[in-house]
Structure 1
Amino acid sequence: MKCDTFRPLEPIVLVFPDKQNRRTVRTARDAAEALLHDWPHDDGEEFYFAVKICLDVIVGRGEPCELRTAMLRAAGEAGVVAIAVVH
Protein backbone atom coordinates (compact mmCIF):
# COMPACT_ATOMS: atom_id res chain seq x y z
CA MET A 1 0.00 0.00 0.00
CA LYS A 2 1.38 3.36 -1.00
CA CYS A 3 0.92 6.14 1.54
CA ASP A 4 0.95 9.82 0.71
CA THR A 5 1.34 11.88 3.87
CA PHE A 6 2.00 15.04 1.90
CA ARG A 7 -1.40 15.35 0.17
CA PRO A 8 -2.05 19.09 0.31
CA LEU A 9 -5.12 20.75 1.75
CA GLU A 10 -6.18 24.35 2.11
CA PRO A 11 -4.22 25.63 5.12
CA ILE A 12 -5.60 25.89 8.64
CA VAL A 13 -3.78 27.70 11.45
CA LEU A 14 -4.44 26.03 14.81
CA VAL A 15 -3.87 27.90 18.08
CA PHE A 16 -3.76 25.62 21.12
CA PRO A 17 -4.99 27.20 24.36
CA ASP A 18 -2.98 25.31 26.94
CA LYS A 19 0.37 25.42 25.15
CA GLN A 20 0.00 28.83 23.55
CA ASN A 21 1.58 27.46 20.40
CA ARG A 22 0.47 27.52 16.80
CA ARG A 23 0.60 24.97 14.04
CA THR A 24 -0.21 25.45 10.37
CA VAL A 25 -1.78 22.39 8.79
CA ARG A 26 -1.08 22.16 5.06
CA THR A 27 -0.84 18.39 4.50
CA ALA A 28 -2.27 15.14 5.82
CA ARG A 29 1.01 14.65 7.68
CA ASP A 30 0.64 18.04 9.39
CA ALA A 31 -2.91 17.07 10.38
CA ALA A 32 -1.75 13.73 11.80
CA GLU A 33 1.02 15.38 13.82
CA ALA A 34 -1.38 17.99 15.20
CA LEU A 35 -3.98 15.39 16.16
CA LEU A 36 -1.50 12.96 17.71
CA HIS A 37 0.96 15.34 19.37
CA ASP A 38 -0.69 18.72 19.98
CA TRP A 39 -4.37 18.03 20.55
CA PRO A 40 -5.56 19.02 24.04
CA HIS A 41 -7.38 15.69 24.60
CA ASP A 42 -7.76 12.48 22.68
CA ASP A 43 -11.45 11.90 23.00
CA GLY A 44 -14.57 13.20 21.38
CA GLU A 45 -16.53 12.14 18.35
CA GLU A 46 -15.12 14.85 16.06
CA PHE A 47 -11.55 14.04 17.14
CA TYR A 48 -11.96 10.36 16.29
CA PHE A 49 -13.60 11.20 12.98
CA ALA A 50 -10.73 13.57 12.09
CA VAL A 51 -8.17 10.84 12.87
CA LYS A 52 -10.08 8.38 10.67
CA ILE A 53 -10.36 10.81 7.76
CA CYS A 54 -6.69 11.71 8.14
CA LEU A 55 -5.73 8.05 7.76
CA ASP A 56 -8.12 7.68 4.81
CA VAL A 57 -6.47 10.62 3.04
CA ILE A 58 -2.99 9.25 3.71
CA VAL A 59 -3.85 5.87 2.16
CA GLY A 60 -5.75 7.40 -0.76
CA ARG A 61 -9.31 6.59 0.33
CA GLY A 62 -10.29 10.13 1.34
CA GLU A 63 -10.14 13.65 -0.01
CA PRO A 64 -8.16 16.54 1.49
CA CYS A 65 -11.28 18.74 1.58
CA GLU A 66 -12.95 16.15 3.85
CA LEU A 67 -9.94 16.22 6.15
CA ARG A 68 -9.97 20.00 6.30
CA THR A 69 -13.64 20.01 7.30
CA ALA A 70 -13.03 17.29 9.90
CA MET A 71 -10.10 19.24 11.38
CA LEU A 72 -12.22 22.39 11.69
CA ARG A 73 -15.01 20.46 13.43
CA ALA A 74 -12.57 18.69 15.77
CA ALA A 75 -10.97 22.02 16.64
CA GLY A 76 -14.36 23.45 17.56
CA GLU A 77 -15.07 20.43 19.74
CA ALA A 78 -11.70 20.73 21.54
CA GLY A 79 -11.69 24.49 22.04
CA VAL A 80 -8.78 24.95 19.63
CA VAL A 81 -8.90 28.16 17.65
CA ALA A 82 -8.87 27.31 13.94
CA ILE A 83 -8.19 30.02 11.41
CA ALA A 84 -9.21 28.84 7.98
CA VAL A 85 -6.90 30.32 5.37
CA VAL A 86 -8.55 30.90 2.02
CA HIS A 87 -6.54 31.30 -1.15
Structure 2
Amino acid sequence: MEWGTSIEFAPVILMFKNPDRVFCVRTAMGAANALINEFPTDDGEEFLLAIKLCVDVVEGKADPEQLRAAIIRAADEAGVTAIAVLN
Protein backbone atom coordinates (compact mmCIF):
# COMPACT_ATOMS: atom_id res chain seq x y z
CA MET A 1 0.00 0.00 0.00
CA GLU A 2 1.17 3.56 -0.64
CA TRP A 3 0.72 6.91 1.11
CA GLY A 4 -1.53 8.14 -1.67
CA THR A 5 -3.97 5.30 -1.06
CA SER A 6 -7.20 6.46 0.51
CA ILE A 7 -7.76 4.62 3.79
CA GLU A 8 -10.65 6.52 5.26
CA PHE A 9 -12.17 6.56 8.71
CA ALA A 10 -14.94 8.64 10.27
CA PRO A 11 -13.73 12.27 10.28
CA VAL A 12 -12.07 13.97 13.22
CA ILE A 13 -12.12 17.77 13.21
CA LEU A 14 -9.08 19.31 14.88
CA MET A 15 -9.44 22.86 16.18
CA PHE A 16 -6.26 24.64 17.19
CA LYS A 17 -6.00 27.81 19.32
CA ASN A 18 -5.77 29.92 16.17
CA PRO A 19 -9.34 29.92 14.76
CA ASP A 20 -7.94 29.85 11.21
CA ARG A 21 -6.35 26.45 11.93
CA VAL A 22 -9.13 23.89 11.65
CA PHE A 23 -8.51 20.55 9.96
CA CYS A 24 -10.77 17.66 9.07
CA VAL A 25 -8.77 14.43 9.22
CA ARG A 26 -10.13 11.26 7.64
CA THR A 27 -7.14 9.45 6.09
CA ALA A 28 -3.75 8.20 7.26
CA MET A 29 -2.05 10.80 5.06
CA GLY A 30 -4.23 13.60 6.43
CA ALA A 31 -3.52 12.43 9.97
CA ALA A 32 0.24 12.35 9.36
CA ASN A 33 0.12 15.84 7.83
CA ALA A 34 -1.83 17.29 10.75
CA LEU A 35 0.34 15.59 13.37
CA ILE A 36 3.67 16.55 11.81
CA ASN A 37 2.84 20.04 10.54
CA GLU A 38 0.14 21.39 12.83
CA PHE A 39 0.37 19.90 16.32
CA PRO A 40 1.85 22.23 18.94
CA THR A 41 3.99 19.45 20.46
CA ASP A 42 5.77 16.49 18.97
CA ASP A 43 7.04 14.50 21.91
CA GLY A 44 4.07 13.10 23.79
CA GLU A 45 3.41 9.37 24.10
CA GLU A 46 0.03 9.61 22.36
CA PHE A 47 1.52 11.78 19.60
CA LEU A 48 4.25 9.22 18.90
CA LEU A 49 1.75 6.35 18.95
CA ALA A 50 -0.47 8.22 16.45
CA ILE A 51 2.52 8.76 14.13
CA LYS A 52 3.38 5.06 14.32
CA LEU A 53 -0.23 4.12 13.59
CA CYS A 54 -0.24 6.32 10.47
CA VAL A 55 2.52 4.13 9.05
CA ASP A 56 0.94 0.93 10.34
CA VAL A 57 -2.40 1.73 8.69
CA VAL A 58 -0.73 2.44 5.36
CA GLU A 59 1.21 -0.81 5.62
CA GLY A 60 -1.98 -2.71 6.47
CA LYS A 61 -0.76 -3.60 9.98
CA ALA A 62 -3.41 -1.61 11.86
CA ASP A 63 -7.06 -0.73 11.46
CA PRO A 64 -7.94 2.87 10.46
CA GLU A 65 -10.23 3.09 13.51
CA GLN A 66 -7.21 2.52 15.76
CA LEU A 67 -5.57 5.54 14.13
CA ARG A 68 -8.73 7.61 14.55
CA ALA A 69 -8.80 6.84 18.28
CA ALA A 70 -5.07 7.62 18.56
CA ILE A 71 -5.54 11.02 16.90
CA ILE A 72 -8.24 11.90 19.43
CA ARG A 73 -5.98 10.87 22.32
CA ALA A 74 -3.00 12.78 20.85
CA ALA A 75 -5.16 15.89 20.47
CA ASP A 76 -6.26 15.63 24.10
CA GLU A 77 -2.64 15.22 25.17
CA ALA A 78 -1.62 18.34 23.19
CA GLY A 79 -4.56 20.53 24.25
CA VAL A 80 -6.09 20.48 20.77
CA THR A 81 -9.86 20.28 20.50
CA ALA A 82 -10.94 17.15 18.63
CA ILE A 83 -14.51 16.74 17.45
CA ALA A 84 -15.30 13.14 16.54
CA VAL A 85 -17.77 13.08 13.68
CA LEU A 86 -19.92 9.99 13.31
CA ASN A 87 -21.04 8.79 9.91
Both proteins in one fold, TM over 0.5: yes
Question: What are structure 2's unaligned runs of at least 5 residues?
Answer: none
Contact 1:50–1:71 at 8 Å: present in 2 too?
Answer: yes
CA separation in 2, counterparts of 1:15 and 1:60? 28
Q: In the alignment, which residue of structure 2 is the partner of 1:66?
A: 66
1:14 aligns with 2:8: no
Q: In the alignment, which residue of structure 2 is the partner of 1:3?
A: 2
Moved over 3 A (4+): none
CA separation in 1, counterparts of 2:51 and 2:11? 17
CA separation in 2, counterparts of 1:30 and 1:16? 16
The Cα RMSD (Å) is: 1.1
Shift of residue 53 of structure 1?
0.7
CA separation in 2, counterparts of 1:58 and 1:32? 11
Aligned residue pairs total: 85
Question: What are structure 1's unaligned runs of at least 5 residues?
Answer: none
CA separation in 1, counterparts of 2:71 and 2:26? 11
Contact 1:9–1:64 at 8 Å: present in 2 too?
Answer: yes
TM-score (norm 2): 0.92
1:36 aligns with 2:36: yes
Q: In the alignment, which residue of structure 1 is the partner of 2:49?
A: 49
